[in-house]
Amino acid sequence: MAEIRIRNTNERIQGEQNVKSFLEKQEVLYEHWNPGKLPAELQEKFVLSDEEKQQILSTFDSEIRDLAGRRGYRTWDIVALSDATPNLEELLKKFEQVHTHTEDEVRAITAGKGIFIIKGTDDVGYFDVELEAGDVISVPENKPHFFTLMDNRKIVAVRLFIETEGWIAHPFEDPAFQKA
Ligand SMILES: [Fe+2]
Protein backbone atom coordinates (compact mmCIF):
# COMPACT_ATOMS: atom_id res chain seq x y z
CA MET A 1 0.00 0.00 0.00
CA ALA A 2 1.12 3.51 -0.71
CA GLU A 3 2.35 5.76 2.11
CA ILE A 4 2.54 9.54 2.23
CA ARG A 5 5.25 11.70 3.78
CA ILE A 6 4.58 15.41 4.09
CA ARG A 7 7.96 17.07 3.62
CA ASN A 8 7.38 20.19 5.74
CA THR A 9 6.33 18.29 8.87
CA ASN A 10 7.69 14.75 8.24
CA GLU A 11 4.16 13.53 9.06
CA ARG A 12 3.41 10.10 7.58
CA ILE A 13 -0.02 8.96 6.42
CA GLN A 14 -0.61 5.20 6.30
CA GLY A 15 -3.52 2.87 5.67
CA GLU A 16 -5.44 2.65 2.42
CA GLN A 17 -8.39 4.82 3.44
CA ASN A 18 -6.22 7.57 4.97
CA VAL A 19 -3.93 7.62 1.95
CA LYS A 20 -6.86 7.62 -0.42
CA SER A 21 -8.69 10.48 1.25
CA PHE A 22 -5.50 12.56 1.59
CA LEU A 23 -4.78 12.07 -2.11
CA GLU A 24 -8.39 12.79 -3.06
CA LYS A 25 -8.12 16.20 -1.37
CA GLN A 26 -4.97 16.78 -3.41
CA GLU A 27 -6.83 15.72 -6.57
CA VAL A 28 -4.50 12.76 -7.06
CA LEU A 29 -6.19 9.54 -8.19
CA TYR A 30 -5.23 6.50 -6.15
CA GLU A 31 -6.41 2.96 -6.82
CA HIS A 32 -5.15 -0.54 -6.22
CA TRP A 33 -4.68 -3.61 -8.41
CA ASN A 34 -3.87 -7.10 -7.18
CA PRO A 35 -0.13 -7.56 -7.90
CA GLY A 36 -0.51 -11.26 -7.03
CA LYS A 37 -2.16 -11.78 -10.41
CA LEU A 38 1.31 -11.68 -11.98
CA PRO A 39 3.16 -14.98 -12.29
CA ALA A 40 5.67 -15.19 -9.40
CA GLU A 41 8.72 -14.91 -11.67
CA LEU A 42 7.45 -11.59 -13.05
CA GLN A 43 6.87 -10.13 -9.58
CA GLU A 44 10.64 -9.92 -9.08
CA LYS A 45 11.94 -9.36 -12.60
CA PHE A 46 13.19 -5.95 -13.69
CA VAL A 47 14.83 -6.70 -17.02
CA LEU A 48 12.00 -7.67 -19.33
CA SER A 49 11.77 -9.04 -22.85
CA ASP A 50 9.03 -7.73 -25.16
CA GLU A 51 7.13 -10.98 -24.53
CA GLU A 52 7.31 -10.49 -20.77
CA LYS A 53 6.10 -6.90 -21.09
CA GLN A 54 3.19 -8.16 -23.16
CA GLN A 55 2.48 -10.81 -20.56
CA ILE A 56 2.23 -8.12 -17.84
CA LEU A 57 -0.13 -6.05 -20.01
CA SER A 58 -2.27 -9.15 -20.69
CA THR A 59 -2.40 -10.02 -16.98
CA PHE A 60 -3.84 -6.61 -16.14
CA ASP A 61 -5.83 -6.18 -19.34
CA SER A 62 -9.21 -5.82 -17.61
CA GLU A 63 -7.83 -3.31 -15.04
CA ILE A 64 -6.14 -1.31 -17.82
CA ARG A 65 -9.26 -1.23 -19.99
CA ASP A 66 -11.44 -0.29 -17.03
CA LEU A 67 -9.16 2.64 -16.14
CA ALA A 68 -8.78 3.66 -19.80
CA GLY A 69 -12.56 3.54 -20.29
CA ARG A 70 -13.18 5.79 -17.30
CA ARG A 71 -10.41 8.28 -17.97
CA GLY A 72 -9.87 8.33 -21.71
CA TYR A 73 -6.42 6.74 -22.03
CA ARG A 74 -5.78 5.40 -25.50
CA THR A 75 -2.33 3.82 -25.37
CA TRP A 76 -0.29 2.07 -22.69
CA ASP A 77 3.09 0.43 -22.29
CA ILE A 78 5.48 -0.95 -19.70
CA VAL A 79 8.48 0.83 -18.22
CA ALA A 80 11.13 -1.10 -16.30
CA LEU A 81 14.01 0.55 -14.40
CA SER A 82 16.80 -1.00 -12.35
CA ASP A 83 20.57 -0.85 -11.97
CA ALA A 84 20.65 -2.93 -15.16
CA THR A 85 19.10 -0.01 -17.09
CA PRO A 86 21.77 1.70 -19.21
CA ASN A 87 22.37 5.29 -18.00
CA LEU A 88 20.12 4.87 -14.93
CA GLU A 89 21.98 7.66 -13.11
CA GLU A 90 21.49 10.09 -15.97
CA LEU A 91 17.85 9.14 -16.29
CA LEU A 92 17.25 9.70 -12.59
CA LYS A 93 18.94 13.10 -12.74
CA LYS A 94 16.57 14.03 -15.54
CA PHE A 95 13.55 12.68 -13.64
CA GLU A 96 14.43 14.38 -10.38
CA GLN A 97 13.45 17.87 -11.47
CA VAL A 98 10.11 19.40 -10.65
CA HIS A 99 8.02 19.62 -13.81
CA THR A 100 4.48 19.60 -15.17
CA HIS A 101 2.68 18.00 -18.12
CA THR A 102 -0.38 19.04 -20.08
CA GLU A 103 -1.71 15.51 -19.54
CA ASP A 104 -2.05 13.57 -16.28
CA GLU A 105 0.75 11.12 -15.43
CA VAL A 106 -0.59 7.65 -14.68
CA ARG A 107 1.47 4.80 -13.32
CA ALA A 108 0.35 1.38 -12.14
CA ILE A 109 3.22 -0.28 -10.28
CA THR A 110 3.44 -4.01 -11.05
CA ALA A 111 6.78 -4.76 -9.32
CA GLY A 112 9.32 -2.89 -7.18
CA LYS A 113 8.85 0.56 -5.67
CA GLY A 114 8.94 4.24 -6.54
CA ILE A 115 8.14 7.70 -5.22
CA PHE A 116 6.20 10.57 -6.68
CA ILE A 117 7.05 13.90 -5.08
CA ILE A 118 4.08 16.21 -5.65
CA LYS A 119 3.39 19.89 -4.90
CA GLY A 120 0.24 19.89 -2.82
CA THR A 121 -2.10 22.65 -1.74
CA ASP A 122 -0.46 25.63 0.05
CA ASP A 123 -1.29 24.28 3.53
CA VAL A 124 0.46 20.97 2.75
CA GLY A 125 3.36 21.82 0.45
CA TYR A 126 5.38 19.08 -1.19
CA PHE A 127 4.62 15.49 -0.23
CA ASP A 128 6.05 12.09 -1.16
CA VAL A 129 3.85 9.22 -2.29
CA GLU A 130 5.78 5.99 -1.76
CA LEU A 131 4.39 3.38 -4.10
CA GLU A 132 4.72 -0.39 -4.25
CA ALA A 133 3.38 -3.17 -6.45
CA GLY A 134 -0.38 -2.85 -6.89
CA ASP A 135 -0.50 0.92 -6.37
CA VAL A 136 -2.04 2.97 -9.18
CA ILE A 137 -1.63 6.75 -9.21
CA SER A 138 -2.49 9.61 -11.49
CA VAL A 139 -0.85 13.01 -10.97
CA PRO A 140 -3.20 15.58 -12.52
CA GLU A 141 -2.19 17.68 -15.51
CA ASN A 142 -0.29 20.89 -14.65
CA LYS A 143 0.49 19.71 -11.09
CA PRO A 144 4.23 20.12 -10.33
CA HIS A 145 5.88 16.81 -9.43
CA PHE A 146 8.74 14.45 -10.11
CA PHE A 147 9.41 10.76 -9.84
CA THR A 148 12.32 8.82 -8.41
CA LEU A 149 13.23 5.34 -7.30
CA MET A 150 13.42 4.15 -3.70
CA ASP A 151 16.41 2.46 -2.03
CA ASN A 152 15.83 -0.85 -3.82
CA ARG A 153 16.23 1.08 -7.11
CA LYS A 154 13.91 -1.05 -9.17
CA ILE A 155 10.43 -0.72 -10.56
CA VAL A 156 8.11 -1.99 -13.27
CA ALA A 157 5.04 0.09 -14.10
CA VAL A 158 2.28 0.37 -16.67
CA ARG A 159 2.05 3.87 -18.17
CA LEU A 160 -1.17 5.05 -19.79
CA PHE A 161 -1.52 7.99 -22.14
CA ILE A 162 -4.23 9.99 -23.83
CA GLU A 163 -1.74 11.41 -26.33
CA THR A 164 1.90 10.40 -26.04
CA GLU A 165 2.91 14.01 -26.77
CA GLY A 166 0.91 15.17 -23.74
CA TRP A 167 3.53 13.63 -21.52
CA ILE A 168 6.40 15.94 -22.46
CA ALA A 169 7.89 17.43 -19.26
CA HIS A 170 7.86 21.20 -18.75
CA PRO A 171 10.35 22.32 -16.08
CA PHE A 172 8.74 24.06 -13.10
CA GLU A 173 11.09 26.48 -11.34
CA ASP A 174 10.04 26.61 -7.69
CA PRO A 175 12.12 28.43 -5.05
CA ALA A 176 9.85 26.84 -2.41
CA PHE A 177 11.02 23.34 -3.31
CA GLN A 178 13.66 21.79 -1.06
CA LYS A 179 15.17 18.43 -1.88
CA ALA A 180 14.84 15.53 0.59
FE1 LIG B 1 6.18 13.71 -14.83
62 CA to centre of own chain: 19
Check whether 145 is labelled as a binding-site residue.
yes
Homologous superfamily (CATH) of 3-165 is Jelly Rolls (2.60.120.10)
Alpha helices in 40-149 (DSSP H): 40-43, 50-59, 61-71, 88-95
Percent of the chain with pLDDT over 90: 88
Per-residue confidence (pLDDT) for residue 176, from 0 to 100? 83
Check whether 32 is labelled as a binding-site residue.
no
Mean pLDDT across 151-164: 93
Domain ranges of the chain: 3-165
pLDDT in tens, 33-67: 999 999 999 999 999 999 999 999 999 999 999 99
Look at 165 and 169; give whichever has higher pLDDT: 169
Per-residue confidence (pLDDT) for residue 167, from 0 to 100? 74
Distance, CA of 173 to CA of 99 (rounded, Å): 8
Span from the CA of 28 to the centroid of ligand 1 (angstroms): 13
Check whether 99 is labelled as a binding-site residue.
yes
Per-residue confidence (pLDDT) for residue 44, from 0 to 100? 94
Span from the CA of 56 to the centroid of ligand 1 (angstroms): 22
Q: Residue 169 in contact with residue 103, Cβ under 8 Å?
A: no
| Whether residue 130 has pLDDT greater than 80 | yes
Residue 180 — pLDDT band, cuts 50, 70, 90?
Answer: low
pLDDT in tens, 89-105: 999 998 889 999 999 99
Percent of the chain with pLDDT over 70: 98
Per-residue confidence (pLDDT) for residue 95, from 0 to 100? 87
| Whether residue 27 has pLDDT greater than 90 | yes
Check whether 101 is labelled as a binding-site residue.
yes
Span from the CA of 166 to the centroid of ligand 1 (angstroms): 10
Question: What pTM was computed for the model?
Answer: 0.93
End-to-end CA gap in the chain: 21
83 CA to centre of own chain: 18
From start to end of 56-142, where are the E strands? 75-81, 99-100, 105-119, 126-132, 135-139
Look at 168 and 166; give whichever has higher pLDDT: 168
Per-residue confidence (pLDDT) for residue 114, from 0 to 100? 97
Span from the CA of 117 to the centroid of ligand 1 (angstroms): 10
Distance, CA of 1 to CA of 145 (rounded, Å): 20
